[in-house]
Chains A and B, each alone.
Chain A
Amino acid sequence: MRKSPILAALLQHKVAAGLIAAQIALTLAIIANALYIVIDRTQLMARPSGVVEQELFVLGLTPEGSAEQRRAELLADLDAVRRVPGVVGAYLTNSMPLSGGGWSSSVVLGPDGAGGAESNTALYMVDETALGTLGLNLVAGRNFEPGEVQWHEAEKPLRPDVVIITQALAERMFGDEPAVGRMIGISGVRGEVGSRVIGVVERLVTPWTDWGRFGKSTLIPVRSDGSPRIAVRTRPDALQQTVKAVEEALWARNPQRVVDGLRTMPEMRAEQHRGDRALVFIMIAITICLLAVTALGIVGQASFWVTQRTRQIGVRRALGATRGQILRYFQAENAIIAGFGIVVGVTLAYVVNYWMAENFGADRLPWFYLPIGAAIVLLLGQVAVYAPARRAAAVPPAIATRSA
């Protein structure tokens, strides 16, 4: 099959072919960017938190009275929660991963940044049972001991003597060197590097999914009586009924109390990623509709050309062209149009992405999305043109001899 007659025929229909090519170009530009967003956000949503999400929930308490009364109340509440059937572990805390709210602090190795790396970290108040309750994997050092867990004096900055950090934070602060035994300064108090790293956990993400330091968390052996929460781990598959039982147990202790912000980890994860999921869904919907619309345009245009050229096809068939040759003619024609579309589309996709990166903080499109997008629109064109091309191939040679 020579290309020149196809090109010649296309030049006769510059505008029609141009319209199709423009559609293909735009389609390519849009789906390459949309696919990238879908994959990027899907990966974002799939990032593991490091905890046993399916078995965890959290609730907030508002103890009243003096500091002593509040602390006694909280410990009694914690004890009551731990006794509820179905509860595997529970501890007092300030925040949970993926919860959207919590504490953060800078981390330093020396006064005024001297002595190396600085980072930021999420702070989780825990006790010695938290590692087991959350299902964390301790990869170096040791857990807290009961005697190390202390109450936080509300008026004072946090200065824990010992901390456990995540591997991500350890790598940021100490590189390849072992972190256990090293000193760090937390809670933004310059010139004070008073916390010893006693352990490193493999993974524990921060409360905020859109934070640049998503994996960098620090566990501190502290209890607070100011807006405290209880994190609870249940037996597998007993999350929902245990939530109810824990709530009832707390109300049984004091019917006038406030049990606030009760949320399970799966709920928190869904909530944190709601915007991402919405965007993924919208991008998939747009991609599907777009492919359908573009295919529709190709089918419509090709069908018209087949009708328009029925006599010519008949003549070619009468002169010896096989059905396969007619079929391939239309397929090749579509491939050429798509080829033009792809060249323009790749450029356009790149420009669109550059513009989005400049204006909407989108990431730069990795190059391989362009050939993927090109392959998709090329395939789409071939699939769409197949039916009209088959109809063309079925034109009997005898039609050449008939006059309309």
Chain B
Amino acid sequence: MFAYYVRIALLGLKRQPVLSALMVLAIGVGVATAMTALTVLQRLGADPIPHKSERLFALGVDNWNTNGNSWGEVDGKAVAPDLLTHKDAMALLAADRARRTVIAYSVSVAVQPEKEGLRPYVAAARATVPDFFPMFDVPFLHGGPWSEADEAGRARMVVLSKATNERLFGGENSVGRRIRLSDQYYTVVGVLDAWAPRPKYYDLSTGAMNDPEPLFIPLSLAIAEDLAVNGNISCWESPGEGRASFLASECIWLNGWVELPDDAAVAAFRDFLAGYVAEQRQAGRAFDRAHLTAPVPLREWLHLRRVVPDDMRLFTVLGFAFLLVCLLNAGTLLLAKFLRRSGEIGLRRAVGASKRALFAQYLTESSVVGFFGAFVGLLLTVGGLAGVRSLSPHWSEAASLDLPMLATCVVIAITTSVLAGVYPAWRASNVAPAVQLKTN
């Protein structure tokens, strides 16, 4: 019976090819707009490390006090700064109260290749502790992180990204080889496999959609050598003169994370931080909003840092409003289309077709329109995503279609057209047979 309905539906569509094509196109455009926006939004808002995000917490430490004001507000509520002072970072690292504590920041170094024909270039290096790699599940191709002893000893060691290893060593296992960074020799201890989390959740302050740093070096070394910070340094009071007073200042420039395995660990860590805040207050530091000094769950952190741009949300809202217009439009056109056939419907009713049968038939016809609309919508979504990619690099990585989104696209298109078709089909199935037979 369904096959028969589909055949009738196709005949019906063929009877008014231009109108049918326009209806399909309208649904396709609506679906494509909504889907393009939704795909990008969904990718931007995706959990970058789903199996572990529950256990990862950003370190919020609220040392801020600009004329008594907080560092900033999100959704009308005060939030802790996005970075840490050197003294807080070092204190929390030394306290070692979590399964893993990671402190990191980005520096810029000059990479001076020994290979002929390669010009020196400036690159960002992530200065961090060895726990960085297991904490964020960073995959190694060769070797591994430097040891805790190397970290404490400020060893000149470096981990290379896959791309950097290809550029400098042609992709071979370079563990044990040396590279020159800003006039100093570093020993390669590890080479990463391809790794590019989106968003770059472990440090949003240097561009949420940027690639990870191509080099990784010990934190203790970078601080001791005073390498150039490649990121933000914000101060609410003057750091004073000299390196030592800068390191002891209220300026924030370091990134902090902890891994806490369960709720008990989270509670214990909160207590520890509360104690830390009390201590710092005793020592005469501001810490006015004690509740903001807390471990912030990764997902919440991404929300607070506005990883999904407001422009993207706006686009999504308008995209779905547009789809709603397309739904109303399809409803209008289907109603007109079905009621045009009142004579035919009356005849079918007169020769014994039930209301239910007619309703099913016309709903099938709406679904067929939706099916074609889904197909057109898919093509247009692919085009739309390519368009978004060319328009904005920040959205570009996010803009690709995967299988679940593909399925969503088809479901949205068919749901839209079935929804649009319900009322017209009901009206069509209620055509009074006698009246129609008389007038036409």
Where the two chains meet, the residues of A that have a C-beta atom closer than 8 Å to any C-beta of B are 15-16, 19-20, 22-23, 26-27, 29-30, 33-34, 37, 60, 62, 64, 113, 155-157, 187-190, 226-227, 256-258, 260-261, 274-275, 277-279, 281-283, 286, 289-290, 293-294, 296-297, 300-301, 303-304, 307-308, 352, 356, 359-362, 404
| Selected contact of B331 from candidates A19, A277, A290, CB within 8 Å | A19
| A293 and B326 contacting across the interface, CB-CB below 8 Å | yes
Query: CA–CA, A304 to B319, complex, Å?
Result: 29
A190-B237, A293-B29 as given contacts; A19 in contact with B332, CB under 8 Å: yes
CB nearest neighbor in A for B244:
A155
| A289 and B121 contacting across the interface, CB-CB below 8 Å | no
Query: CA–CA, A356 to B314, complex, Å?
Result: 7
| B30 and A293 contacting across the interface, CB-CB below 8 Å | yes
Query: CA–CA, A15 to B394, complex, Å?
Result: 44
A281 cross-chain contacts in B, Cβ below 8 A:
387, 391
B173 to chain A, nearest CB (A): 27
| B392 and A33 contacting across the interface, CB-CB below 8 Å | no
B33 cross-chain contacts in A, Cβ below 8 A:
286, 289
B314 cross-chain contacts in A, Cβ below 8 A:
37, 279, 356, 360, 362
User: Known pairs A16-B336, A188-B237, A260-B121. 19 more at Cβ < 8 A?
Assistant: A155-B243, A157-B239, A227-B228, A258-B121, A274-B391, A274-B394, A275-B309, A279-B315, A282-B388, A286-B33, A286-B318, A293-B329, A294-B325, A296-B22, A297-B329, A300-B19, A300-B333, A360-B314, A362-B310
Question: Can you identify 16 A-B contacts, CB atoms within 8 angstroms?
Answer: A16-B332, A26-B324, A34-B318, A64-B183, A157-B241, A260-B122, A274-B391, A275-B309, A286-B322, A289-B29, A289-B322, A294-B325, A297-B329, A301-B336, A308-B340, A360-B310
| A297 and B30 contacting across the interface, CB-CB below 8 Å | no
A374 to chain B, nearest CB (A): 16
CB nearest neighbor in A for B228:
A227
| A62 and B122 contacting across the interface, CB-CB below 8 Å | yes
Nearest first, the 6 A-B pairs at minimum CB distance are A304-B336, A278-B391, A278-B392, A297-B329, A360-B310, A260-B122
A33 cross-chain contacts in B, Cβ below 8 A:
318
A256-B112, A274-B391 as given contacts; A113 in contact with B67, CB under 8 Å: yes
| Selected contact of B328 from candidates A22, A30, A275, CB within 8 Å | A22
A256 cross-chain contacts in B, Cβ below 8 A:
112, 120
B119 cross-chain contacts in A, Cβ below 8 A:
258
Query: CA–CA, A110 to B387, complex, Å?
Result: 52
| A293 and B335 contacting across the interface, CB-CB below 8 Å | no
A308 cross-chain contacts in B, Cβ below 8 A:
339-340
| B325 and A26 contacting across the interface, CB-CB below 8 Å | yes
A289 to chain B, nearest CB (A): 5
A277 cross-chain contacts in B, Cβ below 8 A:
391
Chain A binding surface, main DSSP class: helix
A30-B321, A300-B336 as given contacts; A404 in contact with B122, CB under 8 Å: no
Query: CA–CA, A227 to B230, complex, Å?
Result: 10
Query: CA–CA, A308 to B235, complex, Å?
Result: 74
A60-B122, A404-B439 as given contacts; A15 in contact with B335, CB under 8 Å: yes
Most-contacted residue by chain A among B33, B67, B336, B440 (CB, 10 A): B336
A112 to chain B, nearest CB (A): 9
Residues facing A in B297-351 (CB within 8 A) are 309-311, 313-315, 317-319, 321-322, 324-326, 328-329, 331-333, 335-337, 339-340
CB nearest neighbor in B for A356:
B314
A64 cross-chain contacts in B, Cβ below 8 A:
110, 182-183
B108 cross-chain contacts in A, Cβ below 8 A:
227
A60-B122, A190-B237, A289-B322 as given contacts; A300 in contact with B315, CB under 8 Å: no
B313 cross-chain contacts in A, Cβ below 8 A:
359-360
What is the size, in residues, of chain B's interface with A at 8 Å between Cβ atoms? 60
CB nearest neighbor in A for B22:
A296
Most-contacted residue by chain A among B120, B241, B337, B340 (CB, 10 A): B120
A19-B332, A282-B315, A300-B332 as given contacts; A155 in contact with B242, CB under 8 Å: yes
In the complex, how many residue pairs between chain A and chain B have their CB atoms under 8 Å apart? 147
| Selected contact of B238 from candidates A19, A188, A260, A294, CB within 8 Å | A188
Query: CA–CA, A343 to B328, complex, Å?
Result: 18
A404 cross-chain contacts in B, Cβ below 8 A:
439-440
A24 to chain B, nearest CB (A): 9
Query: CA–CA, A140 to B339, complex, Å?
Result: 76
A187 cross-chain contacts in B, Cβ below 8 A:
238
A65 to chain B, nearest CB (A): 9
CB nearest neighbor in A for B342:
A308
| B122 and A275 contacting across the interface, CB-CB below 8 Å | no
CB nearest neighbor in B for A192:
B238
B241 cross-chain contacts in A, Cβ below 8 A:
155-157
| A258 and B110 contacting across the interface, CB-CB below 8 Å | yes
A190-B237, A277-B391 as given contacts; A19 in contact with B242, CB under 8 Å: no
| A62 and B325 contacting across the interface, CB-CB below 8 Å | no
| B328 and A301 contacting across the interface, CB-CB below 8 Å | no
Query: CA–CA, A305 to B435, complex, Å?
Result: 18
CB nearest neighbor in A for B330:
A297
A240 to chain B, nearest CB (A): 20
A389 to chain B, nearest CB (A): 16
Cβ-based interface call for B423 (8 A): yes
Query: CA–CA, A294 to B324, complex, Å?
Result: 11
A27 to chain B, nearest CB (A): 6
A312 to chain B, nearest CB (A): 12
B392 cross-chain contacts in A, Cβ below 8 A:
274-275, 278
| B26 and A307 contacting across the interface, CB-CB below 8 Å | no
CB nearest neighbor in A for B394:
A275
Cβ-based interface call for B261 (8 A): no
A274 cross-chain contacts in B, Cβ below 8 A:
391-394
B315 cross-chain contacts in A, Cβ below 8 A:
279, 282
A282 cross-chain contacts in B, Cβ below 8 A:
315, 388, 391
A224 to chain B, nearest CB (A): 12
A273 to chain B, nearest CB (A): 11
A190 to chain B, nearest CB (A): 7
A30-B322, A30-B325, A282-B315 as given contacts; A226 in contact with B333, CB under 8 Å: no
B66 to chain A, nearest CB (A): 9
Query: CA–CA, A253 to B205, complex, Å?
Result: 36
A330 to chain B, nearest CB (A): 15
| Selected contact of B333 from candidates A27, A257, A297, CB within 8 Å | A297
| B242 and A297 contacting across the interface, CB-CB below 8 Å | no
B107 to chain A, nearest CB (A): 11
A29-B321, A278-B388, A293-B325 as given contacts; A226 in contact with B19, CB under 8 Å: no
Query: CA–CA, A19 to B420, complex, Å?
Result: 10
A352 cross-chain contacts in B, Cβ below 8 A:
317, 321
A226-B228, A274-B391 as given contacts; A301 in contact with B122, CB under 8 Å: no
A362 cross-chain contacts in B, Cβ below 8 A:
310, 314
Query: CA–CA, A2 to B336, complex, Å?
Result: 26
A293 cross-chain contacts in B, Cβ below 8 A:
26, 29-30, 322, 325-326, 329
| A301 and B332 contacting across the interface, CB-CB below 8 Å | yes
B235 cross-chain contacts in A, Cβ below 8 A:
188
| Selected contact of B332 from candidates A23, A26, A30, A290, CB within 8 Å | A23
